[in-house]
Amino acid sequence: MVELLRRKGWSQQSSTPIAALDGILRHHFMHKTRFATKTRPQEVDIACGLGKTVVLAMECKVTNDETNSVKRVNDVLKKASAWHAHWGSFVETAALLQGVIAMKDVERLLEARVHVFWSHDLGEFERWLDNQTAL
């Protein structure tokens, strides 16, 4: 993911806790940083400044079986819920998935307003990202 963002011309910022909407600049990203919530900050794998005070919080999850996918998806849902409660519509949440994921778990993510992308189809994520930053 980091290589994709660099190839698209995005700049990497030093990973510092994001406590305000201007904590990450448009077309910049952070790898492994912390995002403020109402209780305690939650680590995010990739944070991207989409512009217009909107930030993408993306979790990257790999799992080898449907049983393990439940734990991975629960982690994403817990974080997404905390970020949405704190930031509202100023944060977009996403999961980049790889491996064996039960369809019911993908549906849970989508119901929670988490965008789902697959590691084998990064082109879909690129198109989504281009649409978000074109606004």
Band (52; pLDDT cuts 50, 70, 90): confident
Domain boundaries, the chain: 2-133
Mean pLDDT across the chain: 92
Sign of the torsion formed by the C-alpha atoms of 110, 95, 23 and 17: positive
Percent of the chain with pLDDT over 90: 74
Calculate mean pLDDT across residues 41-59. 91
* Residue range 9-38, pLDDT digits in tens: 999 999 999 888 788 999 999 999 998 888
Indicate the CATH number of 2-133 among 3.40.50.150, 3.40.1350.10, 3.90.120.10, 3.30.470.10.
3.40.1350.10
- The answer to whether the CB of 61 falls within 8 A of the CB of 98 is yes
pLDDT, residue 135, reads 59
- The answer to whether the CB of 64 falls within 8 A of the CB of 52 is no
